[in-house]
């Protein structure tokens, strides 16, 4: 028995598939591909399949990982070839590798936020630069107080590791690195929603998670 890490993209309409439904769909796809899965022992055996960091509903991703334990002598290339034709729509297998980092080491995520503008992008670019160069950008984030969930004010500026912004035709692209680990996690939609709210024109946006990063900013592998 050994563990393999499957890297995949989650794009298009699949961004509306919840994490629970994704787990079910991927488990069916793995079985359909006849992957030699390792099953737990006991009264209710089940395959060992885990995901590094659940993706928020509505986001796309170029960099998702699924770990599973397999039996037999199948190589990573064998697993890749078996899986690539069994994926549900919007899910694309990128590679199959040996795990290197523990998912608990994930500290940051790098995201692209694409804003579609009705008019010229200049005002949106200026707004984003003004907001992110300020000392404070207060938004409300769901948190806990004892056993209860409450809305808390946070300063997003304190959590932004880095950012860059640019435009192409009627689209503004904001690339931002935010905490994305098990200890601290800041959803980029908090930032996107605040920009959308402050814009002078109607904006729609799409968020794509590009990378998962360790504390030292190296790539999670």
CB–CB of 107/92 below 8 Å? no
pLDDT at 144 over 90: no
pLDDT tens for residues 8-30? Answer: 999 999 999 999 999 999 999 99
CB–CB of 25/91 below 8 Å? yes
For tokens 């078996």, what's the residue? 82
Does the fold of domain 104-214 match that of domain 2-99? Answer: yes
State the pLDDT at residue 111.
98
Per DSSP, the three-state class of 81 is helix
pTM of the model: 0.91
Q: Measured between alpha carbons, how far apart are the two ends of the chain, in Å?
A: 20
Selecting from 3.30.70.580, 3.40.50.150, 3.40.50.300, 3.30.1330.40, what CATH number does the domain 2-99 have? 3.30.70.580
State the pLDDT at residue 47.
84
Angle, vertex CA 9, rays to CA 7 and CA 15, nearest 5: 135
What are the C-alpha distances in Å from 73 to residues 2, 24, 112?
10, 26, 39
Strands (E), the chain: 2-10, 49-51, 60-70, 91-97, 106-117, 138-145, 148-155, 162-168, 171-179, 203-214
Residue 124 sits at φ, ψ, to 5 deg, of -70, -40
**Domain positions in the chain:** 2-99, 104-214
Question: Which structure tokens are listed for 196?
Answer: 């959308």
CB–CB of 169/122 below 8 Å? no
Sorting pLDDT into bands at 50, 70 and 90, what band is 46? confident
pLDDT at 42 over 80: no
State the pLDDT at residue 146.
66
State the pLDDT at residue 201.
85
Domain 104-214 has CATH 3.90.1150.110: no
- Compute the mean pLDDT over every residue in the chain, rounded to the nearest whole number: 92
Determine the Cα–Cα distance for residues 197 and 190; give it in Å rounded to an integer: 11
């Amino acid at each position: 028995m050994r563990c393999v890490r499957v890297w995949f993209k989650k794009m298009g309409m699949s961004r509306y598939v919840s994490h629970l439904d994704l787990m079910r769909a991927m488990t069916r796809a793995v079985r359909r591909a006849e992957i030699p899965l390792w099953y737990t022992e006991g009264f209710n055996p089940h395959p060992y399949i885990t995901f590094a960091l659940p993706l928020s509903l509505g986001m796309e991703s170029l960099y998702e990982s699924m770990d599973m334990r397999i039996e037999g002598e199948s190589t990573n290339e064998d697993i890749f070839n078996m899986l690539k034709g069994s994926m549900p729509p919007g899910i694309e297998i990128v590679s199959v590798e040996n795990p290197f980092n523990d998912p608990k080491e994930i500290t940051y995520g790098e995201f692209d936020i694409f804003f579609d503008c009705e008019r010229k992008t200049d005002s949106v670019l200026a707004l984003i630069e003004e907001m992110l160069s300020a000392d404070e950008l207060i938004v409300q984030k769901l948190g806990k107080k004892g056993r209860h969930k409450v809305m808390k004010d946070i300063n997003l500026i304190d959590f932004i590791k880095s950012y860059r912004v640019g435009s192409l035709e009627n689209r503004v692209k904001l690339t931002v690195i935010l905490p994305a680990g098990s200890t601290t996690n800041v959803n980029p939609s908090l930032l996107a929603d605040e920009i959308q709210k402050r814009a002078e024109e109607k904006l729609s946006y799409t968020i794509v998670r590009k990378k998962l990063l360790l504390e030292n900013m190296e790539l999670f592998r």
